[in-house]
Amino acid sequence: MKAYRFLTADDTSAFCHKVTEALSKGWELYGDPTYAHDAANGVMRCGQAVTKDVPGDYDPETRLGNL
């Protein structure tokens, strides 16, 4: 099965660390990153999709961050 996650965070080094951690756990970048202004909070937000091939079938109870 191919698992999919969309990682988001404010535009800080914490976002880069979140993506780096996912990559170190075998996730792969999927598509281009996104960058948008969050007007409600007055900050820039980043997003990056990642995918990972994992054994087994899809289960909506699976915690994707634990894969």
pLDDT tens-digit series, residues 11-64: 999 999 999 999 999 999 999 999 999 999 999 999 999 999 999 999 999 898
Q: Give me the pLDDT at residue 65, please.
A: 85
Distance CA 41, CA 39 (A): 5
Q: Give me the pLDDT at residue 2, please.
A: 96
User: Is 66 a residue whose pLDDT tops 90?
Assistant: no
Q: Let me know if 47 is exposed, middle or buried by CB neighbors in 10 A (0-12, 13-18, 19+).
A: middle
Q: Give me the pLDDT at residue 12, please.
A: 94
Q: Give me the pLDDT at residue 25, please.
A: 96
Rg of the Cα trace of the chain? 13
Q: Side-chain half-sphere of 32: how many Cα atoms within 13 Å?
A: 2
